[in-house]
Each structure stands twice: as C-alpha cells, then as structure tokens.
Amino acid sequence: MKKSSLFLALLFLGSFLYAQSNEALLERALFDLPDISFKKLPTILSGLLQYDVRVKQPLDHQHPEKGYFYQQVRLTHHGFDRPTVITTQGYQIGFGKSEIEAILDGNHLNVEHRFFGESMPDIVQWEYLTLEQVTADLHHINQLFRKLYPGKWVSTGISKGGQTTIFYRYFYPDDVDVSIPYVAPFNNSLEDKRIYTFLDTVGSDECRKNIYEFQVYMLQHKKEALERLKWFSKGADLNYKYLGSLDKAFEYAVLEYSFSFWQWGHSCATIPKGGDFDDALAHFLSVSDIGFFSDRDMTGYASHYYQAATQMGYYGYNIQPFKEYLTQFKENPLASFAPTGSNPPPYNNSLNEKVDQWLKDKGNNFLYIYGGSDTWSADRIIPSAKVNSKSFILPGTDHGRARIRNMDAKMKQSFAEQLKQWLGADVDLSVLGGK
C-alpha cells in the first residue's frame, strides 16, 4: 500500500472510531437523563448525530400529579463543547437545520410546542395551554440538557415560535444567553389596530388601490365565486360547519386577502384587473386560501387560536371600506376562533403588558429580525434605549424571507459582530449563502 493510501486509510479509521466513541458517549449521557426516551435517526449527508427525543412533561408544572404528556424534541449533536441552540416552535415541529445552528456550529434542540403535532396528551385539557406552562416545558428541557451542554445557549423561533422565544426569556431569563426571535409580533389586544395602519400605508398608493379594488371585485362577484368554491371545497373535502357557511368563510377570505398579500410577499403586478373570472378566483385562492377558514384548519390550528384568544392577542378585519358589499358582518370580526368545546376564559392582556414593560427595562441580549413589508412587522418590538438589544429590519422583505441569509452585507456584519460579542463564539455567516 502506498504511503498516501495508508495515511488516508488511517485518517478514515480514526474518524470512524472518533464518531463511534462520540456516539457512545452521547447515548450514555442521554440514557442517564431522567424523563426522556430517545431513538437514533439515520445519519443524513451532514454526518451529524440526530435523535428523536421524547420528554415527559407534566400537564401542570405546579401540580405534576395531574398527569403528563410526551413532548417531541429533535436533537442534533455537534459537540459537547459547542454552543446549544433551542428552537421554540410555535406549532408542530418543523425539521431542517436552523440558521442559528448553522452559523454557530451549535447543538440543536428543536422543540415542538405543547398541544401540537405529536406533543399531545390523550385528552386535551385546555386550561393547561398557557404561556406559563409552555415556557415551563422549555425550562425543563433546558435543565435536562445543560447536563450535556454546559456552554452558551441561544433560543430562537420563527413567527409564533419567535413569540414563544420572547415569553420563554421573560419567565426564565437565565436559561439562555441570547434570544433571536424571527418575524415575531407582539400583540397588544385581540384586535391589534396597528395592523390596520400598516395595511393603509405599506407599499405604493397604486398597489393598495389595486388590492382594495380586487377585494371589492370578489365581493361583487360572490355568487359566481360561491358556485365555483362549492365544487372546489367538495373536491378538497372542505367543510365550514364551524363558521356556519361557505358564504361566511368566503367573506372572511376576502377580508384576509390584504393581510396575506403583504405577509407572504405577493407581487402587485399579479393582481388581476377584470378579465376571466376563473383566473381572478385562482389568484384569490393563491393569496387567501379558503381552506384557512374550513373545519380542517379550525381543528388543525385549534391550540393556536386558543392561545390567541386567551393570552397572546391577535388581529381583526376592518370592514369599514367594505360594508356595503358584506352580508355576514356588521362589525369588525376577529381572526381568532375559540376551539369547539374549549370554553376559554376571557382574553387577558395583563401578561403582555408585563412582558412589554420587562422588554423595555430588562430585555437585553435580544436580536430581533423582521421583514419591512411583512404585515406582522406592524406589531414588531422596538428595543428601548434602556437595553442593548437590536432590531434588524430587512426592507421590502416578507414573513418567509426575513432571514439572516437575506440580509445585506452591512446588516450581516452588524448581526454577526453583536452575536459574537455576547457569546464569545465564532459566527460563520458564510455557511448560509445568500447575498
């Protein structure tokens, strides 16, 4: 065997033995943790160790005797000496490598939200779906895995997951060193009227005019729309028993159109102006999906709506410009819908008020990321002069594209320098690609 071939063989063998040793150490450590079970997942291209973990969580952290459920966590191991990123999902778990995990070469604990996806008790008891309980879940996971990963910790989440990151830091300020919420609104009521101001001012006058005229056009052609949507809904197996009728779901969808248009970055050039009605309806559904108001989604997002209606707040629809065309609404409807049989307590904004004040006075080491044209940026957090936190707003960017990889060079540099300063760890943005 040639020397070069022997060297490569020994290098491969050494890497293999190291990986085997690392796996054995990790699994031994996981086995010693209480309240968890785990299963190794097939190694993907990255070669990193990944595990499906189930964490036993009390329904009520103050009274563990009331029962428990198992919370889904996806662990990606980079090294015992690496920083650790905890992703606070707002819904069911979403898989894939997070930007923060990538730029820090950090361990990743991807945590599904309580009462979503596979993290469900046998019977949903809605009174235990509170932000106090949600963040206690995260704290329990933090305390367990700190035994494996004693270094720096970062929490992050997107949209509702970003909101969860904010509340988590409020209740457990010492769990992580830095918090990075993406596109996270912070609502001040069940009908946060900052949304209306945003929709009245975002983009150009011409584009807003075209959006309004298209919404009116759809309402004026409701009869034709309902006839087609009846067959569309039948084919898609959509029902509207919760709202009471397809007619009401359609009017909701028309009112939702402007919100979704800006949230998801649709082009003003795509808005139809007359022409074929079927083309107009296809465009309408591509922006404001009628299925969002069907029983399917009412059930799928039940836990989300419960939280919005009780603690987190949400948004509504300003019907004033459309009153003469609407038949289902006499006053502004809310976009939150209490789950059937949940009997939620009245909305209480007291926690939001406390957190808002805490963020202004003590909310340090936050890096907020927002899209300038995303509807949810209307409710963004603006760091006060009392704290060191920073906000990064990507101009003309929507909910799905407001990411580090899409920042310009100057913004990226500022973000990386601040993160490195707070963590004392290398931050490699080149792994993200982008601009």
Question: Do residue 206 and residue 120 come from a single domain?
Answer: no
**Residue 331 domain flag:** no
In this prediction, residue 267 carries a pLDDT of 97
Among 291, 325, 359, residue at a domain's last position: 325
**Residue 118 domain flag:** yes
Record the tokens describing residue 217, joined without a space: 């056009």
Whether 46 shows a pLDDT value over 90: the answer reads no
**Residue 28 domain flag:** no
Residue in the structure block whose two tokens are 């973990």:
53
Question: Do residue 235 and residue 355 come from a single domain?
Answer: no
The phi, psi pair for 40, rounded to 5°, reads -70, 140
Question: Do residue 69 and residue 164 come from a single domain?
Answer: yes
Q: Which domain holds residue 312?
A: 194-325
Question: Do residue 246 and residue 361 come from a single domain?
Answer: no
Residues 6+ apart with CB under 8 A from 96: none
Residues 6+ apart with CB under 8 A from 292: 253, 256
Question: Do residue 115 and residue 225 come from a single domain?
Answer: no
DSSP strand pairing (36-40 vs 49-58):
antiparallel
Categorize the per-residue pLDDT at 215 as very low, low, confident or very high, splitting at 50, 70 and 90.
Answer: very high
Specify the amino acid at residue 184.
A
**3-state helix/strand/coil string of 9-27:** HHHHHHHHHHHHHHHHHHH
**Residue 332 domain flag:** no
Range scoring the smallest mean pLDDT among 1-15, 105-119, 127-141: 1-15
**Residue 403 domain flag:** yes
Three-class DSSP category at 54 = strand
Range scoring the smallest mean pLDDT among 46-55, 125-134, 295-304, 412-421: 46-55
Question: Do residue 163 and residue 207 come from a single domain?
Answer: no
Whether 9 shows a pLDDT value over 50: the answer reads no
Categorize the per-residue pLDDT at 16 as very low, low, confident or very high, splitting at 50, 70 and 90.
Answer: very low
> Are 202 and 222 in contact, with CB atoms under 8 Å apart?
no
In this prediction, residue 5 carries a pLDDT of 53
CB count within 10 Å of CB 193 equals: 14
Residues 6+ apart with CB under 8 A from 355: 166, 167, 170, 186
Q: Which of 367, 229, 214 is nearest to 293 (CA)?
A: 229
Question: Do residue 160 and residue 175 come from a single domain?
Answer: yes
Three-class DSSP category at 170 = helix
Arithmetic mean of pLDDT, 181-196: 98
> Are 161 and 179 in contact, with CB atoms under 8 Å apart?
no
User: How do residues 334-378 score in pLDDT, each as one tens digit?
Assistant: 999 999 999 999 999 999 999 999 999 999 999 999 999 999 999
> Are 126 and 339 in contact, with CB atoms under 8 Å apart?
yes
> Are 148 and 80 in contact, with CB atoms under 8 Å apart?
yes
How far is CA 228 from each of CA 8, 138, 232, 276, rounded to the nearest angstrom? Answer: 65, 46, 6, 13
Whether 17 shows a pLDDT value over 80: the answer reads no
User: How do residues 265-291 score in pLDDT, each as one tens digit?
Assistant: 999 999 999 889 999 999 999 999 999
CA-to-CA distance for 264 and 278, rounded, in angstroms?
22
How far is CA 267 from each of CA 6, 19, 291, rounded to the nearest angstrom? Answer: 58, 48, 22
Question: Do residue 361 and residue 310 come from a single domain?
Answer: no
**Residue 405 domain flag:** yes
Record the tokens describing residue 85, joined without a space: 């990123």
Q: How far is CA 258 from the centre of its chain?
A: 20
Question: Do residue 293 and residue 354 come from a single domain?
Answer: no
Alpha helices in 55-159 (DSSP H): 99-104, 131-145
Q: What CATH number did the domain enclosing 123 receive? A: 3.40.50.1820
Q: In which region does residue 117 sit, left (phi positive, over 0), alpha (psi from -120 to 50) or beta (all else)?
A: left
Tell me the β-bridge partners of 107. Answer: 84
Question: Do residue 199 and residue 174 come from a single domain?
Answer: no
Question: Do residue 171 and residue 216 come from a single domain?
Answer: no
Whether 20 shows a pLDDT value over 60: the answer reads no
Question: Do residue 198 and residue 149 come from a single domain?
Answer: no
In this prediction, residue 6 carries a pLDDT of 42
**Residue 146 domain flag:** yes
Q: Tell me the average pLDDT of the chain.
A: 94
**Residue 26 domain flag:** no
Whether 7 shows a pLDDT value over 90: the answer reads no
Question: How many folded domains does the chain comprise?
Answer: 2
Categorize the per-residue pLDDT at 385 as very low, low, confident or very high, splitting at 50, 70 and 90.
Answer: very high
Range scoring the smallest mean pLDDT among 41-50, 194-203, 361-370: 41-50
User: How do residues 279-325 score in pLDDT, each as one tens digit?
Assistant: 999 999 999 999 999 999 999 999 999 999 999 999 999 999 999 99
